[in-house]
Amino acid sequence: MTRAGLARWASCALAGALLAAPVHADPMADALRLVEARHPVLAAQAAEQAALSRQRNWKTDVFVGWTQRGTEFSPEAGANAGVRLTIPLFDRSHEMDSARTRTAWTRERSGIVAGFLAEVQKLRGMALEVENADAARELYRDRLEYWRQAVEEGKSEPERLWGEAEALLQADQAYRKAREALDAERERIAREYGGDAWMTLSGLLAEIAS
């Protein structure tokens, strides 16, 4: 194989390796982009800004009239029509409106993103509580199994199992309560910040707080 052919082969191999390499998604970055695009307030302001940018900074007037002497384009008398174009040379109101809209969107975005990050931090704390509750539940389950075997082997009285079973029941209830609270809070945040894409945001939040 020639040197040029070897170089082409190496280049193709490298490109194939890059394409085959797994892409690690960043759910937090995806969530922030979704909030910026779909939050009801930001979406409304973005639509206003887009509409404002499409507006013309000039106007046209169509006029129809009647002349008795004709015009410079037609010497005959009769009806005539035309278009008048008005361009404001020193009117910057359109530019200023656009700037105000962009500034309002940026200010609103900063507040909403800060609020969203605070909600995410709270959600992570709740997810940690769920993990701790699950660990406690597993501990009480192991304790109950330990004492059950001890009773079967005659090393402990059967009455011991009642207390262990009750502790496991309470731990299981605490886990379920923490799990339900986490799910409810995740849905509330997703609905508040995700707009019509709240289900997608809920899935991203589940990854972030896992």
Give me the pLDDT at residue 3, please: 46
Residue 10 pLDDT > 50, yes or no?
Answer: no
Instruction: Specify if 3 maps to a domain.
Output: no
Give me the pLDDT at residue 14, please: 41
Q: Give, in order, the Cα–Cα distances in Å from 145 to each of 140, 170, 172, 178, 202.
A: 9, 16, 15, 24, 37
Instruction: Specify if 60 maps to a domain.
Output: yes
Residue 90 pLDDT > 80, yes or no?
Answer: no
98 pLDDT tier (thresholds 50, 70, 90): low
Instruction: Specify if 4 maps to a domain.
Output: no
Instruction: Specify if 123 maps to a domain.
Output: yes
Instruction: Specify if 17 maps to a domain.
Output: no
Instruction: Specify if 11 maps to a domain.
Output: no
141 pLDDT tier (thresholds 50, 70, 90): very high
Q: What is the CA radius of gyration of the chain?
A: 35
- Using a pLDDT cut of 90, give the percent of the chain over it: 48
Give me the pLDDT at residue 86, please: 54
Number of domains observed in the structure of the chain: 1
Residue 75 pLDDT > 90, yes or no?
Answer: no
From the number of C-beta atoms within 10 Å of its C-beta (0-12, 13-18, 19+), residue 208 rates as middle
Instruction: Specify if 118 maps to a domain.
Output: yes
Query: Rounded to the nearest 5 degrees, what angle is found at the Cα of 57, between the Cα atoms of 55 and 60?
Result: 95
Instruction: Specify if 7 maps to a domain.
Output: no
